Amino acid sequence: MLDDDVLKAMQEEVRRFAREELIPAEAEVEDTDEIPQHLIARIQELGFFGLSIPKSYGGMGLTMYEEAAIIMEIGYAAPAFRSYFGTSNGVGTLGITIDGTEEQRLNFLPRIATGEMIASFCLTEPDAGSDAASLMTRAVRDGDEYVINGTKRFTTNSPHAGLYTVYARTGPKKMRSAGISAFLVESGTPGLTVGSRYAKMGFRGAHTADVIFEDCRVPTSALLGGKEGLGFKTAMRSLDHARLHMSALAAGLSRRLIDEGLRYAMERKQFGQSIANFQLIQGMLADCEAEALASRSMVEAVSKMKDDGDSVTKETACCKYFTTEALGRIADRVLQIHGGYGYIKEYPIERLYRDVRLLRIYEGTSQIQQLVIAGQMLKQAAE
Ligand code: COS
Within a 10 A sphere around the Cβ of 134, how many other Cβ atoms? 15
> Band of the pLDDT at 196, cuts 50, 70, 90?
very high
Is residue 40 domain-shared with residue 67, that is, in the same domain? yes
CATH number at residue 143: 2.40.110.10
CATH number at residue 71: 1.10.540.10
Of 92, 114, 136, the residue that ends a domain is 114
Q: For ligand 1, which residues put their CB under 6 angstroms from it?
A: 91, 123-124, 130-133, 177-178, 232-233, 236-237, 239-240, 313, 362-364, 368, 371-372
Is residue 351 domain-shared with residue 223, that is, in the same domain? no
Among residues of the chain, what percentage have pLDDT more than 90? 100
> Band of the pLDDT at 50, cuts 50, 70, 90?
very high
Is residue 268 domain-shared with residue 255, that is, in the same domain? yes
> Band of the pLDDT at 168, cuts 50, 70, 90?
very high
Q: 287-343 pLDDT, tens per residue?
A: 999 999 999 999 999 999 999 999 999 999 999 999 999 999 999 999 999 999 999
Is residue 227 domain-shared with residue 130, that is, in the same domain? yes
Closest atom, ligand 1, to C-alpha of 242: 48
Sequence-ordered alpha helix ranges (H) in the chain = 4-16, 26-32, 37-45, 64-74, 79-89, 91-99, 102-114, 231-267, 279-307, 313-338, 349-356, 366-382
What distance in Å separates the CA atoms of residue 330 and residue 332, rounded to the nearest whole number?
A: 5
CATH number at residue 355: 1.20.140.10
Q: How many domains does the chain have?
A: 3
Angle in degrees, CA 25, 31, 35, rounded to 5: 50
Do the beta carbons of residue 186 and residue 251 sit within 8 Å?
no
The residue-averaged pLDDT of 262-271 equals 98
* Mean pLDDT across the chain: 98
Is residue 26 domain-shared with residue 110, that is, in the same domain? yes
Of 177, 200, 232, the residue that ends a domain is 232
Is residue 187 domain-shared with residue 225, that is, in the same domain? yes
pLDDT at 59 (0 to 100): 97
Is residue 213 domain-shared with residue 296, that is, in the same domain? no
The residue-averaged pLDDT of 105-120 equals 98
Is residue 103 domain-shared with residue 68, that is, in the same domain? yes
What distance in Å separates the CA atoms of residue 228 and residue 234, rounded to the nearest whole number?
A: 11
pTM (whole model) above 0.75: yes
pLDDT at 345 (0 to 100): 96
Range of the domain at 80: 4-114
- Residue 108 exposed, middle or buried by CB count within 10 Å (0-12, 13-18, 19+): buried
Which residue's CA is the closest to the ligand 1 atom numbered 12?
233
Is residue 43 domain-shared with residue 106, that is, in the same domain? yes
Is residue 253 domain-shared with residue 374, that is, in the same domain? yes
Is residue 262 domain-shared with residue 354, that is, in the same domain? yes
Which residue's CA is the closest to the ligand 1 atom numbered 24?
177
Contacts of residue 8, Cβ cutoff 8 Å, sequence gap at least 6: none
The residue-averaged pLDDT of 263-284 equals 98
- Per-residue HEC secondary structure of 192-256 comes to EEECCCCCCCCCCCCCEEEEEEEEEEEEHHHEHHHCCCCHHHHHHHHHHHHHHHHHHHHHHHHHH
Respond yes or no: is residue 363 known to be catalytic: yes
For residue 154, report the phi and psi dihedrals to the nearest 5 degrees: 55, 40
Mutate to test the pocket of ligand 1, among 233, 234, 237, 367 (most ligand atoms within 8 A of CB): 233
Of 69, 91, 114, the residue that ends a domain is 114
pLDDT at 87 (0 to 100): 96
Q: Using DSSP bridges, classify how beta strands 138-142 and 145-156 pair: parallel, antiparallel or unpaired.
A: antiparallel
Rounded to the nearest 10 degrees, what angle do helices 91-99 and 102-114 cross at? 150
The residue-averaged pLDDT of 348-357 equals 98
Is residue 84 domain-shared with residue 126, that is, in the same domain? no
